[in-house]
Amino acid sequence: MSTIRVLVHGATGRMGREVINALCGASDMEPVGGVCRSPKTDTLSLPDGSGDIPLSSNLEESLASTRPQVVVDFSNAEACMRAAVQTLERSIPFVTGTSGLSEDDLARLEHIAGDGGVGVIVAPNFALGAVVLMSLAQKAAPFFDYVDIIEAHHEGKIDAPSGTALALARSIADSREFTHNQPQKENLPGTRGGQYKGVGIHSLRQPGRSAHHEVIFGATGQTFSLRHDTLSRDCYMPGVLCAIRQVVNLKGLVLGLDKILGV
């Protein structure tokens, strides 16, 4: 059985290391290289003890030397877009879980991938439970007048709200217009949080957190809550591996893991 050659962009970060570990455990995949901003060595030891892979700060050189069939990215929005363009222009499929991509960024990826006939998957969250949460929230949304999203992550997360929270808000807001009331007097500015088309969003950043998303719907005399908690980063890996397997057969942009899972 042939294996899928995978290069990891953001290889030394928390998620990058988890991806490499998952690749080592997948019989149909092979990690062939890593890219990070400031590598301390030119190789990266694989966690299963099977050897080393080249590690570089130059993605273009790594693409040429390692010849990956898929690039997986967990970096930041700016680095992700640079990597995506370089990768897709070489007709190499691209998978990313990086948050903070704008509507313009997604439109650009869709244009490049569509013109090149190559696949790209952008997933705000690879946890299967979070994907189910989004599906259930979409089903509940038409029946309620108010909705707020509370999300919590570790104190080092660079963006707020999370990509998952934004994706939830966008998918919920597609169904109807919600009420986001403002108090007559706001004693502390920003207390009501942010909002997206009437969907309230509140972000917590605290030590000890991994990822928490809760959607709270409200209507006369009742509330309805949906919640998902990530306990460790390995919960994302089945979704990442699934995306790698699927993206090699795609053309154009797929936004959200739910599209390939059929949820």
Q: Are 81 and 103 in contact (CB under 8 A)?
A: no
Q: Per the residue annotation, which of 9, 153, 213, 228 is the catalytic one?
A: 153
Q: Are 251 and 118 in contact (CB under 8 A)?
A: yes
Does residue 157 have an active-site annotation? yes
**CB 202: neighbour CB atoms within 10 A?**
20
Q: At what angle do helices 237-247 and 128-140 cross, to 10 degrees?
A: 80
Interatomic CA distance for residues 236 and 26, integer angstroms: 14
Q: Per the residue annotation, which of 40, 111, 157, 180 is the catalytic one?
A: 157
Q: Are 101 and 122 in contact (CB under 8 A)?
A: yes
Does residue 153 have an active-site annotation? yes
Where residue 190 falls (left for φ over 0; alpha for ψ -120 to 50; beta otherwise) is left
Largest CA distance in the chain: 66
Which active-site residues does the annotation give? 153, 157
